Structure 1
Amino acid sequence: MVGCVAQVTLSPRGAPLRSFTAFISDRSIREVESETPVPTGKEVLLRTTHSGVCHSDIHARDGHFDLGSRGKLSLASRGMGDSLVMGHEVVGEVIAVGSEVTDRAVGERVLVYPWLGCGECVQCLRDAENSCATPRSIGVQLPGGYADHVLVPHEKYTLDIDGLDPAWAATLACSGVTSYSAINKILPLPADAPVAVIGAGGVGLSAIAILAALGHKNTIALDLNPANLTLAAENGATRTLQITTDSTAESVRKELGVKPEAIIDFVNNSQTATIGFDWLTKGGTMIQVGLFGGELVVPTTLLAMKMATIRGSFVGNLVELRALVELAKSGQLPRTAVGSGVLDADGVRDTLDALENRQISGRVVLEAR
């Protein structure tokens, strides 16, 4: 760490920034060169070393999210144009800092908190920037980690990860904090209360590992992919069930013989949301996290009689990420599976394609070469 005097180290003017940019019109990923930014004020410039690939990047490349009978949510309405530099799970080396930076030094390796807001609204001022109505997230509205450099708007969004594997640490910024925040919305519960995790992909596996780290002893994992369920068991799931596209709440209940007190749905499509509501025990809580798209039709009378709580959860806040990083540093958090790839245009495109085609179990983190 530096003291009261900030370090200012400028990047070479002759070295362009290479970004691996998504173009929505044809879903292509192309290398684009631009001028490497020079940080000012509280800004921090990183050389990207690791950048995780998230399923939500598939929707970003498509330019929309599925809203079921309400059509599509265009990403243009969320501040994005025809092209964007994705990548919101970023670890990098500090190579330059603005003149007002006091807590970051050139050469440090840090994790980036990407879920930024306007910085001025009530939500932002209470450290809930992920709830801001006008987001400016890194890798969404702002250029992200599918590039060889990332400009972070303020040093407070950089977290020390000393002692952690940087590839695994990168996943904490999205899959980690997303699952951690969702879990915070169902706890406290008795350690033996049945909790169901629907979807054991990268984010679901993180949730299972975090529940185990927090001492929960009754976690049920549901997924279409048997390979994901094997990983779920390795990360702390006490029971697993392979479902199909024809599964219903009744078939799931008959197979497992239990109704969960809480369900976290990391798929959140029409089928899984319906299974969740119908399967949930009376007075239970379901947390809808996934962005696969669709809709949930709930009879209003049943909602009241069942006394169910249905709550959405989107990523997590900076305080939660800091807590999660400390949990990881303590050694209590099991490491989830992390695959690797090369951080270039081909690596981004090929990994997104494989993820879209369900050819990946766990998380993939691209590394600069």
Structure 2
Amino acid sequence: MRCFCVTHHGQPLELMHQDIPQPQGTEVLLRVKAAGLCHSDLHIWEGFYDLGGGKKLSLTDRGIKLPLTPSHEICGEVVSAGSEAGPVQTGMVAVAYPWIGCGKCAACLRDEENICVKPQSLGIMRAGGFADYVIVPHPRYLVDLGGLDPVKAAPLACAGITTYSAIKKFGERIHETPVVVIGAGGLGLMAIEVLKALGGRGAIVVDIDAGKREAALKEGALAAIDARASDAAKQIADAVGGGARAVLDLVGATPTVTLALDACARGAHIVIVGLMGGDITLPLPTIPMRPLRIEGNYVGSLAELRELVSLMRDGKIRPVPVSSRPLDEVNDALKALHEGRVVGRQVLVP
């Protein structure tokens, strides 16, 4: 089978030919039908995360080894299963939950495998979807698409559950005030849909790219604000009527977190999702004095993916704009993402 692998950081993914893996034990073999490209794949390709102040977290420090086949947004058709997998429906088309844990730590025992201390995530620690076939370690990680288009559904495995899980952290606030969404890429457009599905007041979207702001308005954003405007914080505060009470930062960079802090009201809740990097200096007394709640969110749980697929199957969430391209064009797709030329999500099809 073909697979496209990161063999050297910052270099084009290399086409490699391998034997089709044979599922063992509880494993299931999927024929890949669609594999999404995410900013996390970009970090894997680059080989590090920016910690600010000239510091970096390398993939080696996270235990990630090369060569690696990326992509954790995977939809595929069940081809076969190991002898211990139990009854598995051959031919079923499913989205694979990629945030697989060790199954033994406290987080896994709470059904929070996405924050496992020894993760085994597809496309990060294990071979991912930029291939003709992929192994999923257990059938419970497969969520039946029930007729959904695999290309449109693939982003649910990351862009979808990440925004869904993050927005749920705001609780009742989404019904009381618009959520300020910083970043109008694939996750930002998905956030607009999730807020609609959950009955929220809507989204005020912030981005530096005019094309992405326009896309957000077309998807139903209440307003779209240029993050580089000199009065961006004031525009945000005015748009929500006196300061933001719920801010979802899908970029996670020094300028965006700074903007979130400048635009928020007293008692605000900020959830940071993005991993673009950097650092901030924040006087600690301002956190209790304002008072602020600053929280991180890392993808989502298997239960949340099942909920999200159900919402899309019921027509309550529309797919984000997706551009489909052949798997052979993966390096062109990676370059487009790196250069910020992507509106919505890119999905590769073998």
Q: Same fold (TM over 0.5)?
A: yes
For 2:338, the equivalent position in structure 1 comes to 356
Of 147, 154, 157, the match for 1:173: 157
User: Could you tell me which residue of structure 2 aligns to residue 330 of structure 1?
Assistant: 314
State the Cα distance separating 1:194 from its structure 2 match. 2.5
**For residues 74 and 247 of structure 1, do their structure 2 counterparts lie closer, same or farther at Cα, with a shift above 3 Å needed?**
farther
What is residue 78 of structure 1 aligned with on the other side? Answer: 62
Q: Tell me what 2:29 maps to.
A: 45
Of 21, 28, 34, the residue aligned with 2:12 is: 28
Q: Which amino acid aligns with 1:23?
A: T
Output the amino acid matched with 2:338: E
For residues 1-369 of structure 1, what are the structure 2 equivalents within 5 Å? Answer: 17-69=1-53, 71-189=55-173, 191-244=175-228, 249-250=233-234, 252-253=236-237, 258-344=242-328, 347-368=329-350
Do the aligned partners of residues 26 and 235 (structure 1) sit closer, same or farther apart at CA in structure 2, a change above 3 Å counting? Answer: closer
Question: Bigger shift: 108-117 or 257-266?
Answer: 257-266
What amino acid is aligned across from residue 310 of structure 2 in structure 1?
E
- 1:221 Cα deviation after fit: 0.4
Range with bigger deviation, 237-246 or 80-89 = 237-246
Structure 1 portions without partners, runs of 5+: 1-16
Q: Deviations over 1:84-112 (max 9, x none)?
A: 11010000111111112234222111110
Q: Tell me, in whole angstroms, the C-alpha distance in 2 between the residues paired with 1:31 and 1:218.
A: 43
Structure 1 residue matching 2:288: 3-state secondary structure:
helix
Paired with 1:217 and 1:194, the residues of 2 have a C-alpha distance of 5
CA RMSD of aligned residues (A): 1.6
Contact kept in structure 1, 2:192 and 2:202, CA below 8 Å:
no
How far, CA to CA, are the matches of 1:256 and 1:282 in structure 2? 13
CA change 1:102–1:82 in 2 (3 A) is closer
The alpha-carbon distance between structure 1 residues 69 and 89, as it changes in their structure 2 partners (threshold 3 A), is same
Does the Cα contact within 8 Å between 1:173 and 1:321 map onto a contact in 2?
Answer: yes
Q: Output the amino acid matched with 1:349.
A: N
State the 1:256 CA deviation: 6.7
Distance 1:56 1:247 in 2: 31
Q: TM-score, normalised by structure 2?
A: 0.96
Q: Aligned partners of 1:291 and 1:123: how far apart in 2? A: 22
Inter-partner Cα distance in structure 1 for 2:348 and 2:305: 21
- Which residue identity lines up with residue 89 of structure 1 in the other structure? E
1:71 positional shift: 0.3
Alignment partners' CA distance in 2, 1:103 and 1:205: 37
Which whole-Å CA distance do the structure 1 matches of 2:56 and 2:347 have between them?
29
Once the two structures are TM-superposed, the CA of residue 243 in structure 1 deviates from its matched residue by 2.1
Cα pair 1:235 1:334 within 8 Å, conserved: no
Structure 1 residue 253, shift from structure 2 partner: 3.5
Provide the C-alpha distance between the structure 2 equivalents of 1:29 and 1:78, rounded to a whole number of angstroms. 20
Q: Which residue of 2 aligns with 1:12?
A: none
Structure 1 contact 213–334 (Cα < 8 Å) conserved: no
1:27, distance to aligned residue in structure 2 (A): 1.9
Q: Secondary structure at the match of 1:287?
A: strand
Alpha-carbon deviation of 1:246?
5.8
Aligned-pair distance for 1:62?
Answer: 0.8
Q: CA deviation at 1:24?
A: 2.8
Q: Secondary structure, in 3 states, of the residue corresponding to 2:330?
A: helix
Q: Indicate conservation of the 8 Å contact 1:192/1:218, yes or no.
A: no
Q: Which residue of 2 aligns with 1:14?
A: none
Per-residue deviation, residues 121-179 of structure 1 (Å, max 9, x unmatched): 11111110011111110000100001111000011111100121111110100000000
SS, match of residue 366 in structure 1:
strand
Paired positions, count: 350
Secondary structure of 1:292's aligned partner: coil
**TM-score with structure 1 length normalisation?**
0.91
**2:178–2:200 contact (8 Å) kept in structure 1:** no
**Contact kept in structure 1, 2:225 and 2:235, CA below 8 Å:** no
SS of aligned partner of 1:282: strand
Asked if the contact 1:217–1:238 (Cα under 8 Å) also holds between the matched residues in 2, the reply is: no
Once residues 282 and 32 of structure 1 are traced to their aligned partners in structure 2, the CA distance between those partners, rounded to angstroms, is 54
| 5+ long unaligned stretches in structure 2 | none
Q: Which amino acid aligns with 1:361?
A: V
Structure 2 Cα separation of the partners of residues 168 and 148 of structure 1: 18
d(CA) in 2 for partners of 1:148, 1:89:
14
- Work out the CA distance in 1 between the residues paired with 2:339 and 2:9: 20
**Residues in 2 aligned to 1:190 and 1:270: alpha-carbon distance in whole angstroms:** 25
